[in-house]
Structure formats: C-alpha cells, structure tokens
Structure 1
Amino acid sequence: MTDYSNSPELKGSVLGQSTEYVDTYTPSLLFPIARKLNRDDLNIDEANLPFKGQDIWTGYELSWLNNKGKPMVAVATFAFPCQTSHIIESKSFKLYLNSFNQTRFDSIEQVKNTLTNDLSHAVAMPIAVTLYHADDFNCLPCTPLPGECIDDLDIEINDYDLDANTLKSVSKELVSETLHSHLLKSNCLITSQPDWASIIIRYTGEKICKESILRYLISFRTHNEFHEQCVERIYCDLTSMLNITELEVYARYTRRGGLDINPYRSTHNDVVPFSVKINRQ
C-alpha cells in the first residue's frame, strides 16, 4: 500500500502545521488535494469510476456579518460529487470558513452563492450548498441507522492491521440486506489524529459473513487515510473480494473543527437515497 503522506502535493497542506486564523474573506485558503493520489493505489480509473456517489460535509460553525455589522450564524451542508478531480483538505476548509467571520455580506443568499462559487472552482465541478438557520431544528435530526447492527457479534481481535482477506461469504445464497457498525476508526493521513465513524453497508449478492465484515472494519483502526479514501477502499475491497451485484457504502464521521465528512459510494445512486445522522455528530 502506497504511503502518500509525504507526497509533494500533500506537503503544501496546512494539516499538522501552526497556522494563522484569518477572519476576513480569503478564498485562496482552500487547499484541493487530487483524488488520484489514493485512487491509483486502488487501481481506479478516474475516467471510468466503479461507483457513483458524493461526499457530504456539514459545517456547524459558519458565521459572518450582515451589512450593518451584526453577526449572523448558520449550519451548512456541502455536497461534492465523487467525480470531482479533487477533495478539499479539511483544515483548509475550516480556515476558509473562518475567514467569513468578520466579513460583511448583504444576505444569506450572497453567502450561499459565495460558498458555492468558491468551492465549485476549487474542485473544478459544481457542488451544492444548503444553509440552515440556527432555529431550524429539523434540518439535521439524529436518526437511527438502517439495517442490522453487527457490533454485538462476539469476536476476538488480536490484529489491527488493515486486511481485506478477512472478508468472506457464508453461502451462495443471494440476499439483499443492510448492515451497520459504529466501530469504524481510521486515522488522518497527515496528522494521525483519530477519525471516528459509523458506517452503513447495503448490498445484494452472496450472503456475507457478518463476523468477517466486522473484523475487516475494525482492521482500519490503525490505518492512515482520509475519510473519502477509506470509504472508497471499503467499497473496492467488498466488490473485489465478494460476489456482490449491488452495493452502497455510507460513512458518517464525527466532526472535527466544526466539520464532519460523510462519503457515500454506490453502484447505482448518485446521491444518498436515505437521510441519517448519528448522535455522535
């Protein structure tokens, strides 16, 4: 497995570095990272992606000034298609959002348009931005995850190295089922800080051994990779190691620095067909 943590492109990242917090609008703070860095390791042809989907970010700490200088706040969601050539490095995203803090905007619509234009430009593809008022309690309600939770399976773990070879089927029986786990943990590719997530796996194919999926997910515990890269690796490992005809993989990561990242990959859906939010977010 290739280690990209010291690649020339990532060396320019602000992750893990002491940085100055700018509070006036500065779009140049955004730092795009090529998805290709990880996809080459997975043998993914970016001209012919094996999946559809998007990365949904939630921003909980968005603030700006109105035209009279009064602070305004909102919660934002950002939907990036998985076809974008780049992702946004998360700390640079946070610094960019902080740069709105002491900047005047005429309306919430102007803020939305500014965010949409800047982020779309950074990843060279249109993205969708939605802003919610602070009193809109129905915008992101916590919901139970669909399907069966596999976390109570009584298994013993002695090895925490990433290993897709643990994945196996239990029979040739074709089934459609949804499984979820709250035990996914990986680490940031640059800083090695822990990233915590709940994950949903919905598939049609030969019946998968649930213990093997749980062991596989736990094997990410010491693995260093960005959120989006982990989900794409899980998707690719499941499709390559198992006889699956339809697959959806959706991870809901806990927030860091006021942002959470929620990658979704699917054989057939461009956007997440169901709404979920874990209580740890």
Structure 2
Amino acid sequence: MDNLVLGKTVGYADKYDPSLLQGVPRSLSRNEIHLPNPLPFEGVDIWNGYELSWLNSKGKPIIAILRCFVPISSANLIESKSFKLYLNSFNQSTFASVEEVQGLIQNDLSGCAGQSVTVEIIEYSAFSSLQLGDLPGILLDNLDISMEDFDISPQLLKTTDKYVEETLTSHLLKSNCLITHQPDWGSVLIKYAGKAIDHEALLKYLISFRLHNEFHEQCVERIFFDILSHCKPSKLTVYARYTRRGGLDINPFRSNFESPYTDIRLARQ
C-alpha cells in the first residue's frame, strides 16, 4: 500500500503510459473480513470513465465515455487514482482509431487486475442514448430513525421469522477512502430471499459506514458478508453505485444467485 500514488502529490503524464496503473490485492481486505474460500458471491466491478480523450491521426481531440467490467475473481482491484492518471496519459497521445484505444485499455487493465477485463468505449454519437435511471425496490431513506453511534455495527442487523423476497435501496451510504479519508458517496441496492430483515436496523447498519475507511469494492463485500452472516438469507445481491471522483465512478456488484444488472447511471452520477 505504501507504493500507491493515492494520497501523494504526483505530476500528470502527457503521453500514454500503462505503467501508471496500480493494483491492490483483493486478498488484503478479504482476509480482514474473514471471507471464506471459495467466495460466497460472484460479481463484477463496473467502472465508468467520463474524461476519456485522445488525439486522432490529424491531431484532433476525440472524446468518449469508457465503461469497463473488472471480474471480482481477479487478483487485484484497480486503484482509482492510478486509473485516473493512466487515462489522462491518453490526452496528448495519438491513436489511429477507437478500436486501437479500446484494445490498449483492455490489455492494460487486464494486466493490472490479473484477469481479463471487458472494455467498452461509447463514442460521442451514442451519448444521446445514455439515460439516467434509478435503483428499483423499497426506499429505506424515509424511515424516521435516530443515530447515536457511527461505528460500523453489523450487530444492528436483525430479522423476523417471516419469509420474504424483497429489494431494498438506500442513497445514504457514505464511507471514506482507505488512504486519503476523502468521502465516498453511494447508493446501494440489497435484494434477498429469506427471513425478513428489519428495515430500520438495516438502514442504521448502512449509515454506520459513514466514518468507515475502506475502498468501494471492500465496503460492498463487507456489507454482503455481514448480511449473509447475521441474517442468513438464501439469496443475496448487494449492488452499490458510487458518485464519481476524477471522472471515474465505481459500481461493485456482488450476488450469490443472479447476474450483474445493466449499468444504471443515477442522478448523482
């Protein structure tokens, strides 16, 4: 972790430089959470990059939106500041085509993650087709709760004996960067089948992350495993949509029964 550029003053490269990418071993946080092996979930980290640009063969700037899917079985997660610096290195570099840029990014991200990463580049001509959406489910945020303790507290979670299948959402998730302690703002969807989870208790649990320092991907895995351990649902999905920083947003999806959803861009993103 000491080798990361995160939290340090660095310059911006003006030419394409894949060496800027840095990975963080997923095992570090998974060992701390005591996740079992094999993992109790599958999933993907969905990244959107809104500041992708390069020069065409005539020196004219091209803009695009990047979308990539990093499998959670990869050895490393991609550190976000290094990702930003890497994308900035394209700004004054010349490439012959969108396909060349896409191929380079896919190869470089796969090398950093340690497993094949899927990359899409959305050209300007397709921007008008991108729409805002919302997370489905019952919104917890209108519940009239009181919070006294903001230490992360999985012990808050509790269930009744009633069996339900439901989807719950909240936009009140906030955690902080593990290194810089800058705030990370997110929305979260929890879909499950099993004993009914107390809604107020769940909302308090999610809000208890407010002072917690951990990367986005690690927070979602912690939420998944805490709910799985304390509430014991037979089916569980946890999907978070975080607001962007440096033109990048990270959206971790973890589930033990369903495939990742279509990328849903929320109003705050």
TM-score by length of structure 2 reads: 0.98
1:200 aligned to 2:189? yes
> Which residue of 2 is the match for residue 89 of structure 1?
79
> Which residue of 2 is the match for residue 279 of structure 1?
267
> For structure 2, which runs of at least 5 residues remain unmatched after alignment?
none
> Which residue of 1 is the match for residue 93 of structure 2?
103
> For structure 1, which runs of at least 5 residues remain unmatched after alignment?
1-9
Structure 1 runs of 4+ off > 4 angstroms?
Answer: none
TM-aligned CA distance change 1:139 to 1:90, over 3 Å = farther
Map 1:172-251; keep pairs closer than 5 Å: 172-251=161-240
Q: In structure 1, give the amino acid aligned to 2:34.
A: N
Q: Residue 35 of structure 1: which of 26, 34, 40 is its match?
A: 26
1:139, CA displacement in angstroms? 4.9
Map 1:130-145; keep pairs closer than 5 Å: 130-145=120-135
CA distance in 1 between partners of 2:223 and 2:255 (Å): 11
Q: Residue 42 of structure 2: which of 48, 52, 62 is its match?
A: 52
1:276, CA displacement in angstroms? 1.9
CA distance in 2 between partners of 1:139 and 1:265 (Å): 27
1:273, CA displacement in angstroms? 2.8
Q: Deviations over 1:25-70 (max 9, x none)?
A: 000000111001100011124x511100000000000000111111
> Which residue of 1 is the match for residue 14 of structure 2?
23
CA distance in 2 between partners of 1:13 and 1:104 (Å): 28
Q: Residue 253 of structure 2: which of 238, 246, 264 is its match?
A: 264
Q: In structure 1, give the amino acid aligned to 2:73.
A: Q
Secondary structure of 1:244's partner?
coil
Q: Is the 8 A contact 1:132 1:139 kept in 2?
A: no
Secondary structure of 2:100's partner?
helix
TM-aligned CA distance change 1:239 to 1:138, over 3 Å = farther
TM-aligned CA distance change 1:274 to 1:98, over 3 Å = closer
Secondary structure of 1:136's partner?
helix
Identity of paired residues, percent? Answer: 51
1:141, CA displacement in angstroms? 1.6
Q: Is the 8 A contact 1:164 1:241 kept in 2?
A: yes
> Which residue of 1 is the match for residue 243 of structure 2?
254
1:138, CA displacement in angstroms? 4.9
CA distance in 2 between partners of 1:273 and 1:25 (Å): 32
1:137, CA displacement in angstroms? 3.0
Q: Deviations over 1:127-162 (max 9, x none)?
A: 100011124235542112101100000011111110
CA distance in 2 between partners of 1:135 and 1:153 (Å): 42
Q: Deviations over 1:187-236 (max 9, x none)?
A: 00000000000000000000110000100000000000000000000000
TM-aligned CA distance change 1:140 to 1:38, over 3 Å = farther
TM-score by length of structure 1 reads: 0.94
Q: Residue 107 of structure 2: which of 112, 117, 125 is its match?
A: 117
Secondary structure of 1:93's partner?
helix
CA distance in 1 between partners of 2:85 and 2:101 (Å): 16
1:274, CA displacement in angstroms? 4.1
CA distance in 2 between partners of 1:146 and 1:11 (Å): 40
Map 1:160-175; keep pairs closer than 5 Å: 160-169=150-159, 171-175=160-164
Aligned length: 269
CA distance in 2 between partners of 1:106 and 1:135 (Å): 18
